[in-house]
Amino acid sequence: MRCEQFEELISAYIERSIAPALATKMDEHVAQCSACRTRLQDVQALWQMMESAPRVEPPLSLHARIMQEVENRVPSVPAVRWWDLAWRPRFAFAVAAVLMLVALFLWTRGVNDTGAIALSVVPEGGSPVAPLKNTPLPVRFEPFRADTGDLRWMLRLNAPSATAVQVFAGTQSVWSGIVEKETVVVLPASSHTSALSVRVVWDSRGALTAWLPSDIAQAERKPVMVLRQASIEDTLSHVAQAYGVPLVLIGDADSLTRVNLESTGVALDEMLRRLAQSLHLEISRAEDGTTVLTAR
């Protein structure tokens, strides 16, 4: 294990919310590396100091003072009239290009509607998604930025009573144990081209699957998607990555069901509505913003 990897997982190591095999590797590394051992001691001391520090409430006037200071420091910029810029050659060329694109868009919109979606689901046997046989396990997926700048995810597990839980990333087991209080599991890095598939199994019966994108969309997307004979899991993975949103499916999907999908310029809500209707799923939103699909 490298020192960079140890520092990235040091918080989860202190909480003991990582897989036992990984914890053993970190134990071995910190026993041999004096620099990481010192770093670990510093972080533990900082956590103890923060836990013992009294809570300080900010004054009610703090927000107003900050905003006033921001306004005072922002320099005033003289307004630039668009007709003054229009005579500049570079700007005039850009305006002409934009006008051509707008004209082309309006013409093609009149010929062919861009908000199109063609979807068909071919089930093999029973319902495309089988409902859970027991109560769902409370979970929460939270994104964070690693030191490298890549988007990573952590999983927060809760249980009303002691519950045996296994967490898989793809086909690899990344954590297993008994959940009696809130437990944090740091998930592995995902590919930049596909969503990270995470499966949580509890009491060897209930299961949910999540698809976590490699980036979170800051604005509404309307991507182009073409899928042929895709499984339900692959379809939801593509939707999560293309739209930049985390998706959770509660229930077991029929592995033989196939989905054909062609979509151009469709907003996320419309895409999910059509998918949920075809797969007999209910749509809801979790407190953390995750879209949850549940078998009826």
As a whole number, the mean pLDDT across the chain is 80
**Mean per-residue pLDDT for 239-245?**
93
> Among candidates 252, 251, 137, 143, which has minimal Cα distance to 183?
137
Q: What is the pLDDT of residues 20-32, one digit of tens each?
A: 778 888 888 889 9
In Å, how far are 10, 45, 110, 173, 259 from 184, measured between CA atoms?
Answer: 13, 20, 52, 15, 34
Report pLDDT for 283: 92
Report how far residue 132's alpha carbon sits from residue 187's, in angstroms, rounded to the nearest whole number: 24
Q: What is the pLDDT of residues 162-206, one digit of tens each?
A: 999 999 998 899 999 999 888 999 999 888 888 999 999 988 777
pTM of the predicted structure, to 2 decimals = 0.61
Report pLDDT for 49: 75
Tokens at residue 28, please?
């071995």
Percentage of the chain surpassing pLDDT 90? 26
Report pLDDT for 4: 80
Residue 74's pLDDT band, with cuts at 50, 70 and 90, is low
Instruction: Return the higher-pLDDT residue of 96 and 162.
Output: 162
Beta strands in the chain (DSSP E): 116-122, 129-130, 139-145, 151-157, 163-169, 172-179, 183-186, 196-202, 206-212, 225-230, 247-250, 252-253, 258-264, 281-285, 291-295
Report how far residue 18's alpha carbon sits from residue 28's, in angstroms, rounded to the nearest whole number: 15
**Mean per-residue pLDDT for 252-257?**
87
Residue 111's pLDDT band, with cuts at 50, 70 and 90, is very low
- The full length of the chain comes to 296
Tokens at residue 189, please?
């890095």
**Mean per-residue pLDDT for 257-280?**
89
Find out whether 241 and 213 touch, Cβ atoms under 8 Å. yes
Report pLDDT for 138: 87
Residue 72's pLDDT band, with cuts at 50, 70 and 90, is low
Percentage of the chain surpassing pLDDT 70? 78
| SS3 call for 249 | strand
Residue 63's pLDDT band, with cuts at 50, 70 and 90, is low
Report pLDDT for 25: 85
Report pLDDT for 213: 93
